[in-house]
Amino acid sequence: MVLGLTAFSSTFGLVIIFFVVFPALAQGLIALAIGQAAAERAENQAYAARLKTDDDDEVL
């Protein structure tokens, strides 16, 4: 059994890692961050709307 890799298999493995796996992982993490930011923004807007309606009720 040969323990070493051929030049082609090592190059092919590195191409798969650096041009497929890492970009896909980075894109997934960026999408997750965007989704979390959008959800937090929606929560903040809902909170601000609740505060605004609560303030309107107190004035009356």
Average pLDDT over residues 38-58: 88
Task: Name the residue range of residue 39's domain.
Answer: 1-59
Q: What is the pLDDT of residue 57?
A: 64
DSSP secondary structure string for all residues of 1-60: ---SPPHHHHHHHHHHIIIIIHHHHHHHHHHHHHHHHHHHHHHHHHHHHHHHHHHHHHH-
Distance, in Å, from the CA atom of 18 to the CA atom of 22, rounded to the nearest integer, reads 5
Query: What pLDDT does residue 4 have?
Result: 77
CA angle 13, 15, 16 (to 5 degrees): 65
- Provide the pLDDT confidence category of residue 49 given band limits of 50, 70 and 90: very high
User: How do residues 6-44 score in pLDDT, each as one tens digit?
Assistant: 999 999 999 999 999 999 999 999 999 999 999 999 999
Number of domains within the chain: 1
- Of 32 and 5, the structure prediction assigns the larger pLDDT to 32
